[in-house]
């Protein structure tokens, strides 16, 4: 059985590179589906990211699962996909069962205790996984056999005690827990039968607590164990060695406060008790972030205050805007969640035409995406109101003369006349006004790169707007596109890219071409201003659609809870005025605050930013379809 498993693993995949080079499957290709997969398994508490180049094991910090960036496509690419799934599921279970956050071992534990704990907890999780998700049991069993085969063929002839125990355990089936003597004579183990029995009982138990006691006990029996044991690759490693480093770096970066970046794939988890394991950040992620911020990216901008937010001292005295600051601006209140009241005339919003760019940009987009644009237009044509008058109705606002004549003729002829003598006119015009509010904060200058494309968020936004306008051009819906940025309450800008009364023509196209990343994301005043503009539109349905890449944020204390509360208020005000609100965001963490601001059903997180372009159009179609 072992030999065949090993042979299977080593035989080249069908269609493999004849030069003998191993075919590889990239995580990037799998990321959209794996992200959703992990989200479903972890109830949204975990996300995935690529680990450092060359990584073999997954690693998790309790929020992110870092997966190996590539996996060999051993027997087939599908097999590699399956292994990615196994790794992800294993890490989800590891985080969920509390193996990460339990503080399973005292801080002064020896390496030997850590090694035993890691080994036992992995074995325990294997069994939990097979029971919880039986569909993965067979691939897990294959992986275990393959790992065992590799160890026996390539490993030492006379292995150390921990390695002996691991090989013994890997040989045991995953379903029913066997008895001690059933698979291997206990003499080959480095401890007596009683301990072996206790080991099996502990592994079969649903509670992981006993693992800790057992690991400490085994450590006293093997004091000469000074390195961690090499484990099967699907198991996420516990990295005790990084713990100390992480704590220091978390403190240094934020002046000793428990403060975290609101966005970005990595977060220190040292705040939760005393976890044994912390793999804080994968080097590639760090490199990517540095890369992003170096090119005008989000890190410089998007820093929030985390949970232990304190009111900034400036907020203690409420200074009204000066006359100069008010000049030429529309004034809006702001909801101060610290004191639970509105601050009247607190924000100055200035509306101006967006600066035009080069029309070539838009024409290039249209040229490149002609088939897609045609497709979107066709879809939108289906939204056009249908014919308005229905003839031969039971009831209606007018008589259907043709039907009456026919009925009279029928009656005269002695036939049963039809009862459908009316015609009915149905008001079916769409009568919709849309204000599309686009986040043009600095963070939209961040770079999104996967292997196929490297572009800024704002480029994707630009494309999205072009597609939306093109699609809307086949309908009579009245719409405006407004960009917004904030740089403190004194300078909230609304850039009119397209006004309600403007046609979508060269001028508007040039303005779309001209959008550039600005400052911060002060959503509240932008929503209030848009509400006023929308309320003036004589439409039956009014929609405020927000496109954003992050949470509310401005540098004069408008962040964290405060910004979220104000935005929520602004949206409530809009809804009270009969305006429907909806948000599309690309922030992976949006689930933490979006339901609170927009309500549970009125936002969508677009997982793949490149999909935003088509997603938005699709969404609008869906939202406004009858």
Residues that bind another protein in the complex, under the rule CB under 8 A = 32-33, 36-37, 39-44, 85, 89, 133-138, 394-395, 407, 411, 416-417, 419, 421, 424, 426, 432, 541, 543, 580, 582, 591, 594-595, 600-608, 615, 619, 622-626
Least gap, CB of 409 to another protein (angstroms) = 14
Cβ of 397: how many Cβ atoms within 10 Å?
A: 11
Closer by beta carbon to another protein, 23 or else 605: 605
Residue 411 burial class via C-beta count within 10 angstroms: exposed 0-12, middle 13-18, buried 19 and up: exposed
Least gap, CB of 582 to another protein (angstroms) = 8
Least gap, CB of 526 to another protein (angstroms) = 20
Closer by beta carbon to another protein, 44 or else 283: 44
CA gap 443, 521 in Å, rounded: 9
Closer by beta carbon to another protein, 41 or else 236: 41
CA gap 130, 136 in Å, rounded: 6
Least gap, CB of 54 to another protein (angstroms) = 26
Closer by beta carbon to another protein, 19 or else 576: 576
Residue 318 burial class via C-beta count within 10 angstroms: exposed 0-12, middle 13-18, buried 19 and up: exposed
Least gap, CB of 310 to another protein (angstroms) = 31
Closer by beta carbon to another protein, 496 or else 604: 604
Closer by beta carbon to another protein, 252 or else 386: 386
CA gap 341, 64 in Å, rounded: 38
Please give the angle made by the CA atoms of 575, 579 and 583, to the nearest 5 degrees.
Answer: 85
Least gap, CB of 201 to another protein (angstroms) = 24
CA gap 351, 532 in Å, rounded: 12
Q: How many angstroms from the chain centroid is the CA of residue 16?
A: 34
Closer by beta carbon to another protein, 36 or else 310: 36
Residue 381: φ, ψ to 5°:
-60, -30
Closer by beta carbon to another protein, 318 or else 394: 394
Closer by beta carbon to another protein, 236 or else 606: 606
Least gap, CB of 333 to another protein (angstroms) = 24
Closer by beta carbon to another protein, 362 or else 583: 583
Least gap, CB of 375 to another protein (angstroms) = 15
Least gap, CB of 570 to another protein (angstroms) = 19
Least gap, CB of 607 to another protein (angstroms) = 6
Indicate the SS3 state at residue 249. Answer: helix
Closer by beta carbon to another protein, 138 or else 227: 138
Q: Which of 44, 85, 86, 81 is nearest to 64 (CA)?
A: 44
Closer by beta carbon to another protein, 300 or else 424: 424
Residue 379: φ, ψ to 5°:
-60, -40
Those residues with Cβ within 8 angstroms of residue 200's Cβ, 6 or more apart along the chain or in another chain:
177, 178, 179, 180
Least gap, CB of 480 to another protein (angstroms) = 16
CA gap 274, 102 in Å, rounded: 8
Q: Which of 112, 72, 64, 54 is nearest to 88 (CA)?
A: 64
Indicate the SS3 state at residue 425. Answer: strand
CA dihedral over 457, 461, 462, 466, signed as positive or negative:
positive
Are the C-beta atoms of 523 and 552 separated by less than 8 Å? yes
Which parts of 11-66 fold into alpha helices (H)? 27-41
CA gap 360, 368 in Å, rounded: 12
Least gap, CB of 66 to another protein (angstroms) = 20
Residues in the chain: 626
Q: Which of 463, 441, 184, 107 is nearest to 297 (CA)?
A: 441
CA gap 309, 346 in Å, rounded: 22
Are the C-beta atoms of 544 and 435 separated by less than 8 Å? yes
The tokens 């503080």 sit on which residue? 103
């Amino acid at each position: 059985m072992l030999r065949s498993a090993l042979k299977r693993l080593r035989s080249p995949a069908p269609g493999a590179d004849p030069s003998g080079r191993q075919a590889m499957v990239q995580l990037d290709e799998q990321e959209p589906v794996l992200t959703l997969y992990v989200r479903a398994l972890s109830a949204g508490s975990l996300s995935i990211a690529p680990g450092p180049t060359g990584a073999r094991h997954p690693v998790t910090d309790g929020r992110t699962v870092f997966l190996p960036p590539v996996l060999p496509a051993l027997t087939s690419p599908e097999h590699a996909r399956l292994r990615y799934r196994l790794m992800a599921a294993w890490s989800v279970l590891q985080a969920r069962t509390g193996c990460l956050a339990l503080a399973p071992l005292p801080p002064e534990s020896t390496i030997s205790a850590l090694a035993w704990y890691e080994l036992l907890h992995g074995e325990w999780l294997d069994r939990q996984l097979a029971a919880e998700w039986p569909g993965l049991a067979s691939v897990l069993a294959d992986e275990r056999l393959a790992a065992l085969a590799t160890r026996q063929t390539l490993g030492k002839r006379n292995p150390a005690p921990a390695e002996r125990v691991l090989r013994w355990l890997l040989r045991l089936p995953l379903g029913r827990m066997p008895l001690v003597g059933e698979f291997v004579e206990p003499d080959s183990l480095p401890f007596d039968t009683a301990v072996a029995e206790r080991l099996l009982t502990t592994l079969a138990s649903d509670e992981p607590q006993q693992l800790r006691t057992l690991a400490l006990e085994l450590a006293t029996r093997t004091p000469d164990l000074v390195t961690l044991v090499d484990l099967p690759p699907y198991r996420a490693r516990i990295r005790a060695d990084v713990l100390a480093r992480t704590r220091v770096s978390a403190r240094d970066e934020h002046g000793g406060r428990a403060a975290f970046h609101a966005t970005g794939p990595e977060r220190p988890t040292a705040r939760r008790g005393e976890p044994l394991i912390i793999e804080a950040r994968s080097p590639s992620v760090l490199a990517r972030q540095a890369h992003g911020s170096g090119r005008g990216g989000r890190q410089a901008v998007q820093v929030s205050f985390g949970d232990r937010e304190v009111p900034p001292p400036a907020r203690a005295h409420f200074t009204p805007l000066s006359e100069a600051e008010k000049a030429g601006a529309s004034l809006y209140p702001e909801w101060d969640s610290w004191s639970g009241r509105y601050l009247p005339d607190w924000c100055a919003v200035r509306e101006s035409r967006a600066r035009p760019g080069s029309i070539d940009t838009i024409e290039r987009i249209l040229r490149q995406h002609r088939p897609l644009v045609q497709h979107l237009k066709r879809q939108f044509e289906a939204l056009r109101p249908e014919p308005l008058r229905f003839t031969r109705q039971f009831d209606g606002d007018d008589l259907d003369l043709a039907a009456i004549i026919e009925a009279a003729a029928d009656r005269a002829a002695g036939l049963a006349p039809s009862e459908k003598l009316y015609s009915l006119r149905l008001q079916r015009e769409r009568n919709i006004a849309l204000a599309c509010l686009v986040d043009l904060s600095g963070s939209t200058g961040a770079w999104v790169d996967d292997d196929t494309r490297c572009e800024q968020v704002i480029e994707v936004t630009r494309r999205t707007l072009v597609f939306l306008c093109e699609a809307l051009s086949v309908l009579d819906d009245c719409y405006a596109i407004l960009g917004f940025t904030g740089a403190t309450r004194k300078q909230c800008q609304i850039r009119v890219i397209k006004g309600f009364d403007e046609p979508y023509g060269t001028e508007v196209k040039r303005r779309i071409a001209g959008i550039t990343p600005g400052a911060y994301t002060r959503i509240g005043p932008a929503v209030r201003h848009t509400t006023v503009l929308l309320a003036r539109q004589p439409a039956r349905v009014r929609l405020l659609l927000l496109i954003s890449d992050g949470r509310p944020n401005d540098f004069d204390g408008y962040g964290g809870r405060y910004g979220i509360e104000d935005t929520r208020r602004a949206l409530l005000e809009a809804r009270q005025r009969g305006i429907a609100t909806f948000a599309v965001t690309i922030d992976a963490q949006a689930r933490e605050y979006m339901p609170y601001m927009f309500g549970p059903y009125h936002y969508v997180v677009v997982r793949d930013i490149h999909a935003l372009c088509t997603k938005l159009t699709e969404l609008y179609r869906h939202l406004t379809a009858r």
